[in-house]
Structures are given as C-alpha cells and as structure tokens.
Structure 1
Amino acid sequence: MLTQRQQTILNILVHEYIKVAEPVSSQLLAEQYDFGIHRAMIRREMRELASQGYLSQPHTSAGKVPTDKGYRFVVDAIMQEKTNQSYAAEMWEAIQQEYRATKTLKTLHFLTRSVAEASSAFALGYLKSEQMAWREGWEEILREPELKDPDCVNRFIKILDKIEDGLAEMKTPATIQVYIGEENPFVKADDFSTLIVGFRPAGEQKGVLAIIGPKRMPYERNIKLMASLSCFINSLQ
C-alpha cells in the first residue's frame, strides 16, 4: 500500500520519464517539484517504490524508470477520471463531416490517420465486416527514441501483424482496454503498450481502433483521446 506521498512521487516520476525519455533522478525531482521534503527523503521514497516493484534502475544510471507495475498504477488512476466528448472537439467535427459524406465506417481510414496524428503514436484501425485494416502513423512512431534501432523497428512491425490478427479475432470491447508491456494478450511486446477501443455507430458493423507505441507514451492524453472517440463514434447517426 503506497502512502499519498509515494503516490505523488510515482505519478510525477512517470510523467517526467514520459516527457524526457531518460531515467529520473531524485535531484531532478527535488529541483523541479516541491514535495515539502528534502532530496534525501525523496531518494528514500524512490528506493521504497523500487523495492515494491514500481520503479527500476538501469545499471548505468543514477535515476529510475517506471516498471510495468508503475505504469499500471498511473494508468488505473487515469482510467477512473471522466472524459467528455468535447475533448479533441475539432478533430471529431472533421470526422463527423467525413462520416456524413460517406455514411460508412470506411471513414475508419480517415479516423485512424487523425488519431495517429493526435496521439503522436501508431494507430491501427480494423473494420470487422470487411476484414479491412488501416495502419497510420509511421512518421509519428519513428520519431520516438525507442525506434531509432532498426532491430526495434523490425520487431515493432512483427508486433503490429500479431496485434492486427488479434483485433480480428477479439470480441469488440465495450470499454477502453490498455495493455502495458507484457500484459499484451496478442503478442510478446515487452517494450510497447496498446490502447484499444471498439465502436459501432447506428446501423453499422463493428470496428476496432488501437493506439500502439512505446511504453513511455503519454497515457493521460491518449486515454482521454480514446475515451472521447468512443463517446463520439457511438453517437453518430
């Protein structure tokens, strides 16, 4: 059981790591945030978080990074927050115009591209009725430092294939699903996270859309994006 202070430190450390893509030190936290305690106490709390499995320390670094358990703690807190449809309202307006013009979930291609741009991650859309898939966001995902290694890119492509197969077979989820690292049910993807939302506008076949990116993704932004997407797309007439 984490204390309130430990929860605060963990939450801030996760968000800092997402932002800077480098291990986060007690010195950085002490300089940039006021926890009301000395740096030595921050360091001690970080050690305690590590002992409980929320943080780990790369061998060559004085800082710490979140583990899957640390990310999960923060994600679960975000999932409890309410998100309304007004989030990313301009994007939804453009999608609604596209949908009204075509009256088909082939709009999913446009939607997939829009979500990739908004999330700065890779988006995969799958329309079950036609067994069609769209992949968007190569430019966005290849900017991530985790994908500078060609071997990592090749591994990512193989992971996408497995996730696409999984989306085709899975029951359309009623709520947002967030799989962090080894939680992924479709493929071994220790370095990546996947957010999945299902939808079915009135009179249309079911579709699924996933955001896929490094575990160091901006979960709060992407979860809010997917939550508002779910509200919006299911309200289309």
Structure 2
Amino acid sequence: MELSERKKQILHALIETYIQTAEPVGSKAILENYQMSFSSATIRNEMAELTELGYLEQPHTSAGRVPTDLGYRTYVTSLMGRYSLSKREKSRIDEGLSMRITELEQALANANRIISELTAYTSLALTPHFNTNYIKRLEMLYIDRHTFLLVVMTSNGLIKNRVCRLNVEIDPDTLGRIAAILQRRLTGVPLDLITLRRISRLEDELMEFRFFLQPILRFVEQTLSEIDQTEVFTEGVGNILDFPEYRDVSRAKEFFNFLGDKQEIKNMLAPTADTGIRIIIGDENPVLSVLQSSLIIGNYRVGEKVVGAIGIIGPTRMDYSKVVGKLDYFTKTLSKLLSETFYDDE
C-alpha cells in the first residue's frame, strides 16, 4: 500500500537513526533528533501501524523498533536522500586511482582496497572478462637448462606469468625460436578461439622441436585458460567485525564462509546491462538472508563495455546513501582510468 507522508517521514527518521545507533528506536529519539509537527503519541501510533504493515519490527518488549527488509527497500527506493561527496572525498578517490598502472588486475586489486577503506565495509571485486580479448605479447624467458618463465600479456592489460620446468634440457636459442613461432601464430587471435586443438596444430611447424613441444604447448594452454577466467578480490574482510550484528560467533563464521565461496560471489556480482547501482537487501537473496546482510553493486567499464563489478557488503543496517554515492563516483572514475589506460578502439 502507499504510505502516507507522515508514515514516510517517521520511517525515514527511524531508519536513519537506527543506521547510526544500531539500537531499537523509540518515538522519543525520533522527536529529539528530527523536527516534526506531531506528538510523541502520534509517532508511537504510526510506528505501531508500520509494524503491522511489515515495515518495522519490535525485537524486544521495549517500545523501540527496527526496520525490516521491506522497510529498508522502501527507504532506498523512495526515501533515501542523495549523498553528495565532499571535495576531500572526491580528491581521495581521484588521488587513489591516479597511480601509474600497466596491469589490469593490479589496478583492480588497488581499487578494491581503496573503496573498502572509503566505506569501512568489506568490498568484493570481480576481475574483467573480455570475449574479444587477444594475446598482445608472448615471451619465454630462459632461466636454466630445464626452466623458463612464460609471460603472456593480453590486449586489455592482463598479464600471466608461469614458471615452467621441462624434463629435458633446452638451450636459450631453441627456446627463443619456439617463442618466436608461438608469438607469430598466436598474437592477435581472440582468446576464445585459442583452443588446445588450435595449439596442437602448431606441431607441424614446430616438429624439429618435438622433444620439448608437448610440455611447452601444455604450459601455454594452461596459462591461456587461466587468463580467460574471472577472479574475485576481497578487501576489508575484518571490517565486518566492527559492527555489533557480527559479534555473534556463528554469524561471523557464516560471513567468512561466504567470503570463501568464490563461485557464489561471482554469481552475485555478475555484471548486468544495468548502468546504475544495484542494491540487494537481506531476504531478496537467500545467501544475504542467512547473513542478514545487504550488497551494493556497481559495474565498471573499459570503453563502452561493462566488463566487471565491485560490491560492498555489510549489515542490512548499512549507510545506503553514503555507500551508493561513493560507489557510484568510484566506479565512474575507475572506468575512466581503465578506459584511458587499456581501451583499444582499433
């Protein structure tokens, strides 16, 4: 049902008070902190009706109420004010993201740390996935007669290193000739087209190196498969313990178990075509319902393409307005940086 303006005012005031205090809110606290034209008795009556309607609940026998997930959803959808970042906050984000970077994963790991510090919550970042990503450079650096370093760089700045050890001896000249052929044949080819079968077809051209060929091609295939997979970065894991909701050992354990489930995090952060900030509150997701948490997600881009996402997770009592404002500015600034550094419009 559509709430009256008075109920909206009281719900807004109660939620913002609860976000700050983490304590059930009574009519006296609302009256003291917000200038309202109605009495404490009227506020109590409206709170009782909001409780019957499912927007509030009464955890104890005291007069204080706390928001339900429906209350939070109403708040973020129609009652929450727009948070305006201060010049200092914008400056901190801009300076934090202005570092010189040559590797996309390095940039994202650093960005994830910064947004966790800015919000004081736990942050989750999904590394980018590019369907059209291709190999820009492939090198094999000689270490000793049995060992070399395989380095693969993609068109969008991802770099993978792998120390490879052979059962047979190899000299620097032979390794260099093999690397030159692989560089020539694989550079510029989209990753999703470089299959094990395609790599195996190079055997004819590399037949003179057949004693080294199979393990080297296997190393290449394994390294390329790792590049085309998304990864999850987490930062500020211990921040959650600062909130009273997670001082219960069992709930904290559930939260840390969730952070260890990378596939679940990937599913929740999976980028969408939605250009705005997404907010998932408690019971709207079965995992978050168990954790009694909310997740705020912002996509980031390289060029015009949404390639990844960053999420902020915390108790349902999180400061939605502030987090949304910071995450929105942050992801837009990050997208601009990544596009300037890695975007190739050819």
Task: Tell me the TM-score normalised to structure 2 length.
Answer: 0.62
The 5 Å alignment of 1:77-92 reads: 77=78, 81=82, 88-92=89-93
The 5 Å alignment of 1:65-214 reads: 65-77=66-78, 81=82, 88-98=89-99, 100-102=100-102, 104-129=104-129, 130=227, 131-160=230-259, 161=261, 163-167=264-268, 169=270, 171=272, 173-184=274-285, 188-189=289-290, 191-202=292-303, 206-214=307-315
Letter in 2 for 1:191: Q
Letter in 2 for 1:139: G
Letter in 2 for 1:152: R
CA contact (8 A) 1:78 1:220 kept: no
Q: Equivalent residue of 2:46, what SS? A: helix
Supply the distance in 2 between the matched residues of 1:189 and 1:205 (Cα, whole angstroms). 30
Q: Equivalent residue of 2:302, what SS? A: coil
Supply the distance in 2 between the matched residues of 1:206 and 1:136 (Cα, whole angstroms). 20
State the Cα deviation string for residues 96-134 of structure 1 (Å, max 9, x = none): 322x43362531111111111111110011103342221
Aligned residue for 1:59?
A: 60
Task: Compute the displacement of 1:82 (Å).
Answer: 8.3
Q: Equivalent residue of 1:213, what SS? A: strand
**Larger CA Rg, structure 1 vs 2:** 2
Supply the distance in 1 between the matched residues of 2:269 and 2:52 (Cα, whole angstroms). 39
- Worse-matched range after superposition: 32-41 or 73-82: 73-82
- Worse-matched range after superposition: 196-205 or 42-51: 196-205
**Consecutive unaligned residues in structure 1, runs of 5 or more:** none
Provide closer, same or farther for how the CA distance between residues 180 and 79 of structure 1 changes in structure 2, counting only shifts above 3 A: same
Supply the distance in 1 between the matched residues of 2:79 and 2:328 (Cα, whole angstroms). 11
- Worse-matched range after superposition: 220-229 or 169-178: 169-178
Letter in 1 for 2:255: F
CA contact (8 A) 1:128 1:168 kept: no
CA contact (8 A) 1:167 1:208 kept: no
Provide closer, same or farther for how the CA distance between residues 149 and 69 of structure 1 changes in structure 2, counting only shifts above 3 A: same
Supply the distance in 2 between the matched residues of 1:78 and 1:31 (Cα, whole angstroms). 20
1:230 paired with 2:331, answer yes
Task: Compute the displacement of 1:167 (Å).
Answer: 4.2
- Worse-matched range after superposition: 121-130 or 208-217: 121-130
State the Cα deviation string for residues 214-235 of structure 1 (Å, max 9, x = none): 0010001001111112322222
Supply the distance in 1 between the matched residues of 2:119 and 2:36 (Cα, whole angstroms). 30
- Worse-matched range after superposition: 159-168 or 206-215: 159-168
Supply the distance in 2 between the matched residues of 1:2 and 1:223 (Cα, whole angstroms). 24
CA contact (8 A) 1:56 1:67 kept: yes
- Worse-matched range after superposition: 195-204 or 164-173: 164-173
Provide closer, same or farther for how the CA distance between residues 26 and 82 of structure 1 changes in structure 2, counting only shifts above 3 A: closer
State the Cα deviation string for residues 161-211 of structure 1 (Å, max 9, x = none): 264131465546432110000112666445100011111123988121000
Aligned residue for 1:19?
A: 20
Provide closer, same or farther for how the CA distance between residues 112 and 128 of structure 1 changes in structure 2, counting only shifts above 3 A: same
CA contact (8 A) 1:182 1:190 kept: no
Letter in 2 for 1:122: T
CA contact (8 A) 1:85 1:232 kept: no
Provide closer, same or farther for how the CA distance between residues 168 and 120 of structure 1 changes in structure 2, counting only shifts above 3 A: closer
Letter in 1 for 2:12: N
- Worse-matched range after superposition: 214-223 or 183-192: 183-192
State the Cα deviation string for residues 26-77 of structure 1 (Å, max 9, x = none): 1211233221111101101111111221111113432000011110111113
Task: Compute the displacement of 1:6 (Å).
Answer: 1.2
- Worse-matched range after superposition: 128-137 or 207-216: 128-137
Supply the distance in 1 between the matched residues of 2:253 and 2:17 (Cα, whole angstroms). 28
CA contact (8 A) 1:197 1:226 kept: yes
Task: Tell me the TM-score normalised to structure 1 length.
Answer: 0.88
The 5 Å alignment of 1:43-58 reads: 43-58=44-59
- Worse-matched range after superposition: 183-192 or 32-41: 183-192
CA contact (8 A) 2:57 2:68 kept: yes
Provide closer, same or farther for how the CA distance between residues 78 and 225 of structure 1 changes in structure 2, counting only shifts above 3 A: farther
Provide closer, same or farther for how the CA distance between residues 13 and 83 of structure 1 changes in structure 2, counting only shifts above 3 A: same
